[in-house]
Chains A and B, each alone.
Chain A
Amino acid sequence: MKVPEGLKYTKEHEWVKIDGDHAYVGITDFAQGELGDIVYVEIETEGQTIAKDEIFGTVEAVKTVSDLYMPLSGAIAEVNAALQDNPELVNSDPFGEGWMIKIKMDDTSEVEDLMDAKSYAEATTS
């Protein structure tokens, strides 16, 4: 299970990469492994402002469906268009090409509530 340093994590198995007042969001290697082959990423919230912990989309694997939660409050500035035709990028490169959304954060102090790589790895393996 890969847990890159330098990213922030949530208990919903999402990663967050902070870039100024923006944040990129995807699901972790652990999450993609648990879901199995991902066949559809449905995110229809581009341009919307959504509060932390609310649903911003859904990921469908062959056998299961799972909601995606906002790790931070803000506006969805961009959705990774590549996932429309290639949802399997989430399996093959969850921390890179498989990114899902870019958020324009409302309140950067919310970042402090997220886990670092070490805490996430501990929380996930325990």
Chain B
Amino acid sequence: MKNTPLTQIHLDLGAKMAEFAGYNMPISYVGIKKEHQAVRESVGVFDVSHMGEFIVKGKEAADLIQLVTSNNVKKLEIGDAQYSCLPNHKGGIVDDLLVYRLPEDRCSEGEQAFMLVVNASNIQKDWDWISQHNTFDTQLMNISDQTALLAVQGPKAAEAMQSLTDIDLVGMKYYTFAKGTFAGINNVLVSATGYTGSGGFELYVDANEAPKIWKAVFEAGAAYNVQPIGLGARDTLRLEMGFCLYGNDIDDSTSPIEAGLGWITKTKKGKFNSVEIFKQQRTEGVSRKLAAFEMLERGIPRHHYEITDADGNTIGQVTSGTQAPSLNKAIGLGYVKTEFAKPDTEIFIKIRDKQIKAQVVKLPFYKVS
């Protein structure tokens, strides 16, 4: 099991630890509900250094990314970030990822540079997949082990962190980023992105500087009662927004069209992996769709639970489910036959051999007030 540069700090804080994607990660510090609430109301900090980072640099860097990802990388200006996925050749998803178009200060004439941020569990798979498609004048570098990542999330994140940097955090637009000095550390990439729906930043920093930046973030945020947040609350926060989790809601066998990721599947951008399959799914429709639902009767949906119609016929399966701390109700995502995916449709979740009533709803579950 690997450690992040901050594992010792989590242990010192008394975090409940568990293995996740091969890393020894904090699951919770004081309890999922309290941590969840801290992010929704003020600011919380996640160590997500297990995530993978690749640099793609070269004259044809954008061409390689355009071929392997579903979104249109050619829309990105320097300083933009984009949510995307890596389709396989069968219309499934190798991984979902963020694509950053980096400044070109380290590029030679005519070169472009990008950073791809991928799921920890898929680092090797993604690396092999992208490398195998790299017939371009482009270099790939895996900087995952040298890179730490902190997510500072919550409505007070910008205000709480502003004293640490000259970068305008309050004015930074969603899905843009800047590189600069943060907490006296040079070359920090500060990105207005996250996986919580409550706003905030992600800080990419040299792994050696991780303890220093963690300490500075907690000192600066003390007046805002900044809290460390584990992966447990990361999951409840993302699920309240309906953000997909790779391995649960999307995987090698699910299409982005089925998963509600049509908005990152730009079938008109030109050739990319599985584009013909996605075009066909767009015109002919898909037989199943990822539906968001909330429980109308008492019970909590969990991954792999069966979804049925009123007569008990199986119509799908739950991919994620939880009690939602901000909503005080149980929610879930799951693939259902397309005719059951419309909002307000009554469906049933099979929990311990009972059919518990639920209703399909629109995302997000949690609406920012």
Contact, CB under 8 Å: B302 / A36: no
- Which residues of B have CB within 8 Å of A91? 31
Task: Tell me how far the C-beta of A3 lies from the nearest C-beta in chain B, rounded to whole angstroms.
Answer: 19
Q: Smallest Cβ distance from B237 to chain A, in angstroms?
A: 11
Which of B16, B32, B323: most chain A CB closer than 10 A?
A: B323
Whether the Cβ atoms of A36 and B300 lie closer than 8 Å is: no
- 8 A Cβ contacts from B310-357 to A: 322-323, 325, 352
Which of A37, A39, A58, A62 is most buried by chain B, counting CB atoms within 10 A of its CB? A62
A97 at the interface (CB under 8 A from B): no
Given A36-B28, A36-B31, A39-B323, is A62 in contact with B352 using a C-beta cutoff of 8 Å? Answer: no
B32's partner among A37, A60, A65 (CB-CB below 8 A) is A37
Are A63 and B298 in contact, with the CB atoms below 8 A?
no
Q: How close is A108's CB to chain B, nearest CB, in angstroms?
A: 31
A36→B32 contact, CB < 8 A:
yes
Min CB distance B49 to A, Å, is 21
Q: Does A40 contact B (CB under 8 A)?
A: yes
Which parts of B275-331 form the interface with A (CB within 8 Å)?
298-300, 302, 322-323, 325
Q: Is the CB of B298 within 8 A of A62?
A: no
Which chain A residues lie closer than 8 Å to B352 at the CB level? 42, 58
Contact in complex: A62, B302 (CB < 8 Å): no
Can you list, as one digit per residue, whether each of A80-102 has a CB less than 8 Å from chain B (1) or not (0)?
00000000000100000000000
| Chain B facing A: main interface SS | mixed
- Interface pair B33/A37, CB less than 8 Å apart: yes
Contact of B300 with A60 in the complex, beta carbons under 8 Å: yes
- A112–B322 Cα distance when bound, in Å, is 39
Docked complex Cα distance between A103 and B257 (Å):
53
**How far, in whole Å, are A15 and B311 apart by their CA atoms in the complex?**
41
Query: Residue B155 at the A interface, CB < 8 A?
Result: no
Of the residues A58, A60, A62, A65, contact of B232 by C-beta under 8 Å: A62
Binary interface profile of B, 143-177, with partner A (CB < 8 Å = 1, else 0)?
Answer: 00000000000000000000000000000000000
Alpha-carbon distance A65/B32, docked complex (angstroms): 15
B112 within 8 A of A: no
B273 within 8 A of A: no
A40 touching B323 by the CB < 8 A rule?
yes
Tell me, rounded to whole Å, the shortest Cβ–Cβ distance linking A40 to chain B. 6
**A-contact bits for B11-46, CB 8 A (1 contact / 0 none):** 000001000000000001001110000000000000
**Is the Cβ of B31 less than 8 Å from the Cβ of A63?**
no
Ranked 3 nearest A-B pairs via Cβ: A39-B323, A37-B33, A62-B32
